Amino acid sequence: MHLVVLLGAGGWMNTFDKLNWYKEGSIKYRYLKAFGNEGVIKFSIRADSLYNLDNDSFYKKVVSAEQKLQFMADSLHLTVEKTKWRKKY
């Protein structure tokens, strides 16, 4: 019984964290649309149009691009660490 309660609480906390992350992203996007320069406004309108055209494909493209960026950042971090290690020894 305790395990079920713990799993339920953990799932609820994870959902709450994701909701906060989405809310933060939404307010940041809305800020850019409200206070951005002309280029930012045009970009946000284009992004809205692409999302409305095919939101599933849009989501997949964004996630894929984020994964590529994360891979590049991880690779760069690893290269820096290897360089530090080589200089040390």
In the prediction, which pLDDT does 45 show? 85
Mean pLDDT by 10 residues, the chain (89 residues): 58 60 71 84 86 90 93 92 80
Structure tokens at 19: 């909701």
The pTM for the full model equals 0.52
DSSP 8-47: HHHHHHHHHHHHHHHHHHHHHHHHHHHH--HHHHHHHHHH
CA 58-72-44 angle, 5° bins: 30
Give the domain ranges of the chain.
1-53, 56-89
User: Positive or negative, the Cα torsion across 25, 11, 67, 55?
Assistant: negative
